[in-house]
Amino acid sequence: MPVILEAILVSFGMLFIFALAFLALFLLAITMSPIERGLSKMIWDATTPKRPVPAPPKGSYRDFSRKH
């Protein structure tokens, strides 16, 4: 087999293997996306500070006038 043909075949073989590895990682990322989204939402919900409970109203000036 001529050297140039062998070099071309090896180059295409490496490109093919690279494309297969890229495709495998791409498919893995698509598969893991819902899991990552759920984990991210869980972490954001756990780290956001809770809003303080609003204090109940203590009455108005009119209520104070009725009592006194």
**DSSP secondary structure string for all residues of 1-68:** --HHHHHHHHHHHHHHHHHHHHHHHHHHHHHHHHHHHHHHHHHHHHHSPPPPPPPPP---HHHHHHH-
With respect to residue 26, please indicate whether it lies within any of the assigned structural domains.
yes
With respect to residue 27, please indicate whether it lies within any of the assigned structural domains.
yes
With respect to residue 35, please indicate whether it lies within any of the assigned structural domains.
yes
With respect to residue 39, please indicate whether it lies within any of the assigned structural domains.
yes
With respect to residue 10, please indicate whether it lies within any of the assigned structural domains.
no
Q: What is the pLDDT of residue 1?
A: 78
With respect to residue 8, please indicate whether it lies within any of the assigned structural domains.
no
Q: What is the pLDDT of residue 45?
A: 86
Q: What is the pLDDT of residue 18?
A: 98
pTM score, whole prediction: 0.53
Spell out the per-residue pLDDT of the chain, length 68, in tens.
799 999 999 999 999 999 999 999 999 999 999 999 998 988 888 887 777 777 666 666 666 666 66
With respect to residue 43, please indicate whether it lies within any of the assigned structural domains.
yes
With respect to residue 38, please indicate whether it lies within any of the assigned structural domains.
yes
Domain residues for the domain of 31 are 20-47
Q: What is the pLDDT of residue 10?
A: 97
- Per the structure, the count of domains in the chain is 1
